[in-house]
C-alpha cells in the first residue's frame, strides 16, 4: 500500500476499498521503522489521528498523510528551522500552503528535518542531526541489514551512508520511504529538486508568485518558493493545484492562472520544442548522468519533439551571483534574531545589550549561518554595495534575460541534469565545506530561481552503483502545466525502478 502513489491511494479511499485510518496506521508504522533515517524533527501522529477523523471522505485529499518542512509555520506545533535559535518557537498560525492542504483533508505526519535555516545541499547541518538517504542504507536492526535495497553493491558499510540532499532532505526521505504521500519543501536555489534527485522522487519548484510564502520563514525573499515532493508527476500537479493561488497575506503572489486541470492521461511531446543548454554540459558532470540526459533527449526526439542546442551564456556567472544575493538577503533576514524580541537568548545578567546580541546569535546559529551573515554584511557595506550587491542584481537580470531570449525563439521547455552526480557518501560529502558543496550541487538549479521560472526534477534511471539519476525540466513562467506534461511523458517512458521498502512491514 505504501508504495502506491497519492492518486492511487486517494482512489482506494474514495471507493472505500481502504480506509483513511488504516492508511494512517500503515504510515505511522513505517515512520517508526525508518526513524533512524532522521527524516522528522517533530512527529505529530496524535494530531494526525484527530485530523483523519475530521477529514470528509469526499474532500480532495480525504485523509492523505503529508509532511511539512520545519521552516513552514504550523499552529501550535514547534517550528525550528533545524536551529537552536528557534528551539522553543511554537507559531500561533499556519502557513498559507499548509492551511490549504489541511483544509483539503490532508493529515499532518510531522515536521521534517532540514539544513539549518535551509542553508545547504546535504541536510547534514541540522541541530537535530543529519538526514540519511534510504537508498542502499544499512539499517541497524539485524532483520533489516541482511536486505539489499535496490543495490548491485549492497548497503554501505562501516557506518557510512549516502546524503539525502538538501535543504529539504527530510521531506524527500519522508516521501521516498512511504511515511507520507506528499511533502512540502522550500526551494531557494534547488532545495527541493536536489534532495528529490538524490532520493529518487519528484521535486517541483513552481513559478515564483504562484504559491504563497506567508508563513514560510524566509531565507532569500526574492528567490524562495514553496516546493512539492511526491512519488509521481501527477501527484505533484494535484498538490500544486490545491495550494496555488493568490494570497492577500503575500504581495508577491499573483492572480494569473496556472491552468492546472489534471495532466493529460497520455501526454504527447509531438511538436514540442525542447532546448538543451550547452552550458549545462559542465565540468564535473558525471558520465552516467550525461548519458541519461542524452538518452532521454533522443527518446523525446524520436517521439516527435524538436530537440536543439540552445545557449544561456551567463550561466558561468550564476553561482557567484546567487551566492552574493543570497548572503545579502540572509544578513537582512537574520537580523531579527537578536535574543530579545524572540529566538534563543544567551544566559547572563551583566551583559550589555550589544554583548547579549552577539552571544545569543553565536549560540543560536551554526557556523554556516554565521558565515553567510558575515559575508552578506560585508557585501552590503557602503564601500562594497555597488561593487557586489548592485552588480549581482545586474547580472541576475542578464541571467533571466538569457531564458527570456531562448523561450522567445520558440523553445517550450528546457531539459537539463538536476545535479552533477548521484548522491555522495556522507564521508566524502563532508570533506568539503558548505559553500563549496552548494556551488557544486546547485549549479543546474539556482539559475531557475534567479529567473523565477518553474522546474521539476524527475528520476529516470539507476546508476551502476544502484543510486537514482534524475533530470530537470524547466518551463516558461506560469506555464507549469506544459512543463509537467513533458515531465510526465519522460516519467512514463523511462519506467524508473522506485525504492521498495515493503519488507519492513513483514
Query: What pLDDT shows up at residue 264?
Result: 93
The active-site residue out of 191, 197, 323, 360 is 191
Q: Can 69 be counted among the known catalytic residues?
A: yes
Strand partners for 309: 276
CB-based contact 158:146 (threshold 8 Å): no
Query: What pLDDT shows up at residue 217?
Result: 97
CB-based contact 323:368 (threshold 8 Å): no
443-469: buried (b, 16+ CB within 10 Å) or exposed (e) per residue? bbbbbbbbbbbbbbbbbbbbbeebbbb
- C-alpha 226: how far from chain center: 8
Q: Name which of 98, 130, 112, 103 is nearest 31 in CA terms.
A: 112
Strand partners for 438: none
Three-state SS for 294-342 is HHHHHHHHHCCCEEEEECCHHHHHHHHHHHHHHHHHHHHHHCCCCCCCC
In order of 16, 54, 238, the CA distances from 21 in angstroms are 12, 11, 22
CB-based contact 9:60 (threshold 8 Å): no
Q: What is the pLDDT along the chain (506 residues), one digit of tens a residue?
A: 899 999 999 999 999 999 999 999 999 999 999 999 999 999 999 999 999 977 666 789 999 999 999 999 999 999 999 999 999 999 999 999 999 999 999 999 999 999 999 999 999 999 999 999 999 998 875 333 333 233 333 334 447 999 999 999 999 999 999 999 999 999 999 999 999 999 999 999 999 999 999 999 999 999 999 999 999 999 999 999 999 999 999 999 998 777 777 899 999 999 999 999 999 999 999 999 999 999 999 999 999 999 999 999 999 999 999 999 999 999 999 999 998 888 899 998 788 989 999 999 999 999 999 999 999 999 999 999 999 999 999 999 999 999 999 999 999 999 999 999 999 999 999 998 888 888 888 999 999 999 999 999 999 999 999 999 999 999 999 999 999 999 999 999 998 999 988 766 65
CB-based contact 458:489 (threshold 8 Å): no
Q: Can 33 be counted among the known catalytic residues?
A: no
What are the φ and ψ backbone dihedral angles of 453, each rounded to 5 degrees?
Answer: -90, 160
The active-site residue out of 104, 126, 167, 186 is 167
Q: Name which of 51, 44, 50, 49 is nearest 72 in CA terms.
A: 44
Strand partners for 77: 74
CB-based contact 214:249 (threshold 8 Å): yes
- Written as nine digits, the cell of 276 is 538543451
**Helix or strand or coil: residue 457?**
strand
- Written as nine digits, the cell of 189 is 536555489
- Written as nine digits, the cell of 135 is 537508498
Strand bridging mode 225-230 / 202-205: antiparallel
Report the alpha-carbon distance of residue 449 to residue 364 in Å, rounded: 28
The active-site residue out of 26, 69, 111, 231 is 69
Query: What pLDDT shows up at residue 155?
Result: 37
Q: Name which of 404, 411, 367, 429 is nearest 194 in CA terms.
A: 429
CB-based contact 111:44 (threshold 8 Å): yes
CB-based contact 232:6 (threshold 8 Å): yes
Domains of the chain: 6-272+415-505 (3.90.1300.10)
Query: What pLDDT shows up at residue 145?
Result: 35
Q: Can 167 be counted among the known catalytic residues?
A: yes
- If one counts every other C-beta atom within 10 angstroms of the C-beta of residue 19, the result is 14
In order of 116, 448, 453, 455, 486, the CA distances from 225 in angstroms are 17, 11, 10, 11, 21
Amino acid at each position: 500500500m505504501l508504495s502506491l502513489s497519492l492518486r492511487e491511494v486517494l482512489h482506494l479511499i474514495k471507493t472505500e476499498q481502504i480506509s483513511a485510518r488504516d492508511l494512517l496506521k500503515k504510515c505511522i508504522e513505517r515512520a517508526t521503522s525508518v526513524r533512524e533515517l532522521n527524516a522528522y524533527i517533530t512527529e505529530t501522529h496524535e494530531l494526525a489521528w484527530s485530523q483523519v477523523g475530521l477529514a470528509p471522505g469526499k474532500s480532495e485529499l480525504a485523509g492523505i498523510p503529508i509532511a511539512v518542512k520545519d521552516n513552514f509555520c504550523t499552529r501550535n506545533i514547534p517550528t525550528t528551522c533545524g536551529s537552536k535559535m528557534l528551539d522553543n518557537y511554537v507559531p500561533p498560525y499556519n502557513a498559507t500552503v499548509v492551511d490549504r492542504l489541511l483544509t483539503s483533508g490532508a493529515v499532518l505526519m510531522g515536521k521534517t528535518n532540514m539544513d539549518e535555516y535551509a542553508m545547504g545541499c546535504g541536510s547534514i547541518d541540522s541541530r537535530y542531526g543529519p538526514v540519511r538517504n534510504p537508498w542502499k542504507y544499512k539499517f541497524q536492526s539485524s532483520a533489516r541489514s541482511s536486505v539489499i535495497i535496490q543495490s548491485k553493491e549492497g548497503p554501505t558499510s562501516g557506518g557510512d551512508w549516502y546524503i539525502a540532499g538538501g535543504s529539504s532532505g527530510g521531506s524527500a526521505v519522508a516521501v521516498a520511504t512511504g511515511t507520507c504521500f506528499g511533502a512540502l519543501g522550500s526551494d531557494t536555489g534547488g532545495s527541493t529538486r536536489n534532495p528529490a534527485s538524490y532520493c529518487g522522487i519528484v521535486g517541483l519548484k513552481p513559478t515564483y508568485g504562484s504559491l504563497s510564502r506567508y508563513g514560510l520563514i524566509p531565507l532569500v525573499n526574492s528567490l524562495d518558493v514553496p516546493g512539492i515532493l511526491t512519488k509521481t508527476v501527477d501527484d505533484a500537479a494535484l498538490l500544486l493545484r490545491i495550494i496555488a493561488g493568490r494570497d492577500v497575506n503575500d504581495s508577491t503572489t499573483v492572480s494569473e492562472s496556472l491552468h492546472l486541470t489534471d495532466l493529460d492521461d497520455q501526454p504527447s511531446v509531438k511538436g514540442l520544442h525542447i532546448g538543451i543548454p550547452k552550458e549545462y554540459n559542465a565540468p564535473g558532470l558525471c558520465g552516467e548522468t550525461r548519458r541519461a540526459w542524452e538518452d532521454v533527449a533522443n527518446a523525446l526526439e524520436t517521439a516527435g519533439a524538436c530537440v536543439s542546442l540552445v545557449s544561456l551564456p551567463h550561466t558561468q556567472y550564476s553561482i557567484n551571483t546567487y551566492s552574493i544575493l543570497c548572503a545579502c538577503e540572509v544578513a537582512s533576514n537574520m537580523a531579527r534574531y537578536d535574543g530579545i524580541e524572540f529566538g534563543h537568548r544567551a544566559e547572563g545578567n551583566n551583559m550589555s545589550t550589544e554583548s547579549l546580541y552577539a552571544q545569543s546569535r553565536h549560540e543560536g546559529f551554526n557556523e554556516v549561518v554565521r558565515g553567510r551573515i558575515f559575508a552578506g554584511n560585508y557585501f552590503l557595506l557602503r564601500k562594497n554595495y555597488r561593487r557586489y550587491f548592485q552588480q549581482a542584481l545586474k547580472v541576475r537580470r542578464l541571467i533571466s534575460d538569457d531564458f527570456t531570449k531562448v523561450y522567445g525563439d520558440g523553445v517550450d521547455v528546457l531539459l537539463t541534469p538536476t545535479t552533477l552526480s548521484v548522491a555522495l557518501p556522507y564521508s566524502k560529502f563532508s570533506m568539503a565545506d558548505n559553500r563549496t558543496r552548494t556551488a557544486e550541487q546547485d549549479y543546474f538549479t539556482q539559475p531557475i530561481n534567479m529567473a523565477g521560472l518553474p522546474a521539476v526534477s524527475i528520476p529516470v534511471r539507476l546508476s551502476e552503483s544502484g543510486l537514482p539519476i534524475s533530470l530537470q525540466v524547466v518551463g516558461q513562467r506560469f506555464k507549469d502545466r506544459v512543463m509537467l506534461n513533458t515531465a510526465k511523458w519522460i516519467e512514463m517512458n523511462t519506467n524508473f525502478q522506485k525504492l521498495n521498502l515493503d519488507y519492513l512491514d513483514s
